[in-house]
Structure 1
Amino acid sequence: MPATATPPWQGRPAPMPHPQLRVTNQDREQVVEHVKAAYAEGRLDKHEMDERLDRAMTARTHADLMPIMNDLYGARPAYVPRPPASFAPHPALEGGDRAGAAAAHLFALAGFFVVGPLLMMVTAGRTSPYIRRHAVEALNFHLTVLGATILLPFTVVGVVLVPVVWVLGLVLSVVGGVSAIAATEFRYPLTVRLVK
């Protein structure tokens, strides 16, 4: 056992996880190891160690673990929430990438619902991660539409919904194509993502 226990956040200040985030078994075990090391160094007596070990093993959130460690090593940097994902345009994308990604979405208008995105994924998607992301998203959406088209007619309401699903599919394909040309990410709603 090392002479001085170093908490995982010293040396490279990492922000503490959100206080209300539930802890994992690994989080609890790390705190237990640090409490044992503090006891071995003489910074805690046996009663304090037992009390902290009990609190560590029953902790549910990071807020429960913070008081156990703060007086041993000091407080971690405060929790800073991550900014929301940015959908700003990708300035480094070439025109070919944007056109290829748009084609993966717009093939639906030409009647190549599943085949078009699949072709874009296995051809241009090999060299361009941007085209692949859009092709995979379009492929998953059109597979979902195909599955809905096959399964919905088995219900009375489903027969009415099939044309709505197809119209919605065409509209969303146009929106996806425009998003690809604008170099922004696009996610189809209500999509089963079978292809990764």
Structure 2
Amino acid sequence: MDDGGYAGVGLRVSDSEREPVLELLKEAYAEGRLEHDEFEMRMHLAMTAKTRADLAAVASDLGRPGLQALPGKAVEQAPDGEDRMWAALAHGSGVAPLIVPALVIMLLGGQRSAYVRRQAAEAVNFQLTLLLVTIVTFGLGGVLYAVTWIVAAIAAVFALGGQDFRYPWILRLIR
């Protein structure tokens, strides 16, 4: 899970972490994006928030491009065409039983986009699971490779559409 550089959204929040959220709420109220009752409720929730996740929920719909991350979770941009293409390539590499292409995409493309990293990691986990099954069954699991290209193709189509895809029944060793 990408947490925007904050270690643990369940960690307790400090007063200094509340300040940017309180300022954002005041600005939103001044701009007319919040009504008075909602402003007061959100201010109360921000002042009494115990965790970073609680605090992030108070202002999650008020973020602006200049405000990258409220404590808790970064606001992720929608994947663009290039991100979707790299994610689809990572999944599509599952057609051939090779981990390397998806791993390279995860390591290089993942620095550019959280979406690419997440989808490439899913593809790597899929490939690792298939490899482990093949090893544990002394090669008999290799029969799975004959049908996994269908699942990899479906995942690639999801990625091209900008949607997250999670393979069922795999080990998620890489996050």
Q: Give yes or no for the alignment of 1:126 onto 2:111.
A: yes
- Between the aligned partners of 2:155 and 2:44, the Cα distance in structure 1 is 45
Q: How far is the alpha carbon of 1:185 from its aligned partner?
A: 1.0
Where does 1:40-189 land on structure 2 (aligned, <5 Å)? 92-109=78-95, 111=96, 113-153=98-138, 159=140, 162-163=142-143, 165-189=144-168
Q: Give yes or no for the alignment of 1:12 onto 2:45.
A: yes
Question: How much is the aligned-residue C-alpha RMSD, in angstroms?
Answer: 2.5
Q: How far is the alpha carbon of 1:112 from its aligned partner?
A: 5.6
- Paired AA for residue 149 in structure 1: T
- Between the aligned partners of 1:168 and 1:112, the Cα distance in structure 2 is 11
Q: How far is the alpha carbon of 1:113 from its aligned partner?
A: 2.0
- Between the aligned partners of 2:77 and 2:157, the Cα distance in structure 1 is 16
- Paired AA for residue 164 in structure 2: E
Partner SS state of residue 153, structure 1: coil
- Between the aligned partners of 1:112 and 1:175, the Cα distance in structure 2 is 16
**Alignment coverage as a number of residue pairs:** 105
Aligned 8 A contact 2:97 2:145 in 1:
no
Q: How far is the alpha carbon of 1:94 from its aligned partner?
A: 1.3
- Tell me: CA distance 1:194–1:91, structure 2 relative to 1, closer, same or farther (3 Å): closer
Q: How far is the alpha carbon of 1:143 from its aligned partner?
A: 0.2
Write out the 4+ residue segments of structure 1 that deviate beyond 6 Å after TM superposition.
none
Q: Percent identity?
A: 33
Alignment gaps of 5+ in structure 1: 1-9, 14-89
Aligned 8 A contact 2:158 2:165 in 1:
yes
Q: How far is the alpha carbon of 1:146 from its aligned partner?
A: 0.4
Q: How far is the alpha carbon of 1:190 from its aligned partner?
A: 1.0
Partner of 1:60: none
- Paired AA for residue 166 in structure 2: R
Please list the CA deviations of residues 96-128 of structure 1 after superposition, one character each: whole Å capped at 9, or x if unmatched.
00000000011122x362101100011111111
Q: How far is the alpha carbon of 1:153 from its aligned partner?
A: 2.8
Instruction: Give me the TM-score of the superposition, normalised by structure 1.
Output: 0.49
